Amino acid sequence: MQKIEQLRAICKSVLENISLRSLTTFKIGGTARFVAYPQDFTELTNLLDYLKRENMPYFILGAGSNVLACDEDYEGIIICTRKLNEIKKISPCRIKVGAGAMMSNIVRFCTELGLTGLEWAVNIPGTIGGAVVMNAGAFGGQISNVVESVTVFSELGTEVLGRAKLFFDYRHSVFTNSKDCVIMEVVLKLKKGSIDTINATITKNILARASTQNVGYASAGSVFRHSTGVVPAKLIEDCGLKGERVGDAMVSPVHSGYIVNLGHATAGQVLALIDKIREKVYTTYKKNLECEIVYLKGESNAEYQDDR
């Protein structure tokens, strides 16, 4: 039996030879040999069991909004969670969300219920799974403020991790560097609020983001991680690097924390520009910039990774 037939016996929706450009917001990358779209948690867990037995590399991908994909072909399998997107109310202030649910859809769901706590996430272009992995945040809010528990699949099987086991920190969680757990579902605990107030806050956040982060080209959002005393965008701008280019990869003139794809950028060009930025910032200010985006490596060094 061919590999594709074996995979489809476990997960009905498996595609072959899919461009990584079509799966990421950066619109960069080679070709993925296989892309699987599990329809439910049974397909997901059975697929993960199979891949581990076969020692086949895989990459868990949500919306692909924080990923730089390699220029080379990826010979493993991309597991896309986008169809694991159910959102349901489980108590007056609690909802249960599939890992592939888009943050914008979750915000809309909460708004209709008059639940507050996620207004900051209205324009986050990712999934709840990716948001939990990196403890996404904006406008003073972050996902860790509302996460009650996370259901994961690991070598131990399916288990529910409470907040105490998630070890949230700034743009970090227990999952950030973990190769052992795949997020399946998340329970969020919010608060009752006024729908009018919630909508007003959402509108304010949309306008604020449009004025500062509408970069006009494909990107993966903020490239570098904020830390104590380090605001990457300011350091990059102060170094005179706005508009700096390597090929079609450019530091955004609108938001210097972003690298944009002018149309035909390669991963190699983005990485070269990242190196140039880090070197200039360190030489000028003795500050090390740490990358926030995830790099999906190619065939020669493929390994388990997760969409951050």
Domain that holds residue 18: 3-83
| pTM, two decimal places | 0.91
Q: Could you give the residue numbers annotated as active site?
A: 171, 222, 292
| pLDDT category of residue 41 using cuts at 50, 70 and 90 | very high
- Does residue 203 belong to any structural domain of this protein? no
| pLDDT category of residue 305 using cuts at 50, 70 and 90 | very low
Same domain flag for 99 and 76: no
Which CATH number fits the domain that encloses residue 285? Answer: 3.90.78.10
Q: How far apart are CA 92 and CA 83, in angstroms?
A: 25
Q: Say if residue 51's pLDDT is above 50.
A: yes
- Does residue 302 belong to any structural domain of this protein? no
Task: State the distance between the two ends of the chain, measured CA to CA, in whole angstroms.
Answer: 34
- Does residue 262 belong to any structural domain of this protein? yes
**Helix/strand/coil percent split, the chain, to 5:** 35, 30, 35
Contacts of 203 (CB under 8 A, 6+ apart): none
Number of domains in the chain: 3
Which CATH number fits the domain that encloses residue 105? Answer: 3.30.465.10
Same domain flag for 93 and 79: no
Residue type, 9: A
Which CATH number fits the domain that encloses residue 39? Answer: 3.30.43.10
- Does residue 279 belong to any structural domain of this protein? yes
Same domain flag for 149 and 94: yes
Tens-digit pLDDT profile for residues 112-161: 999 999 999 998 999 999 999 999 999 999 999 999 999 999 988 999 99
| pLDDT category of residue 1 using cuts at 50, 70 and 90 | low
Same domain flag for 112 and 54: no
Tens-digit pLDDT profile for residues 221-242: 999 998 877 899 999 999 999 9
